[in-house]
Amino acid sequence: PESTLYEKLCNPNDNGECQFANTVSLDENLPCHRNECRVDEVVIVQVKPGTFYEYIRHPCVQLSFYDDAKKVVTGYSSKIAGVGRRHTHAMCAHPETAVAARSCCDVAFADIAEFNYKMEFHGERTVFATTELQCTTDGGRVCDANG
């Protein structure tokens, strides 16, 4: 209830009761609040039990060409003896756009998955700097898509 995003989605009437609309368009960037600040991009948000909103990115807004592209993969096949992991599909991504999950290798603790590493929610996507910071903070590195 203290969140600016919640207030916009709630759209309270004069009695303070939420009047949730089917579609809400935000015309400005809003400051994050608590858990909202832990993710690079809010995709789905639950404003009350059973009431969800989904962020739908506008098509053709991001530039197709950019500097310092990073390789991201859609998945990995199992390890091959003497070769290591092989990615199943790869593509280039803008490092400042939240389009990939965290993937950290060589971290000290072995009980945490390398892929979707320490995600805040299922399907979370992050910018490259967020993944890099998390990996290096935990003593690892961003996994190389080549194995």
**Can you tell me the distance from the alpha carbon of 69 to that of 93, in angstroms, rounded to the nearest whole number?**
6
Q: Give the model confidence (pLDDT) of 74-106 as tens digits.
A: 665 565 555 555 556 677 888 888 888 888 888
Q: Is the pLDDT higher at 85 or at 68? A: 68
pLDDT at 137 over 80: yes
Amino acid residing at 13: N
Out of 8-17, 51-60, 110-119, pick the least confident: 110-119
Other C-beta atoms closer than 10 Å to the C-beta of 101 total 16
Token pair 């003497």 in the structure block, residue? 82
**Can you tell me the distance from the alpha carbon of 82 to that of 84, in angstroms, rounded to the nearest whole number?**
6
3 beta partners: none
Token pair 């599909």 in the structure block, residue? 89
pLDDT at 113 over 70: no
Q: Residues 2, 32: contact at Cβ < 8 Å?
A: no
Global model pTM greater than 0.75: no
Q: Residues 51, 20: contact at Cβ < 8 Å?
A: yes
Q: Where are the beta strands (DSSP E) in 1-147?
A: 44-48, 51-54, 70-73, 90-93, 104-105, 141-142
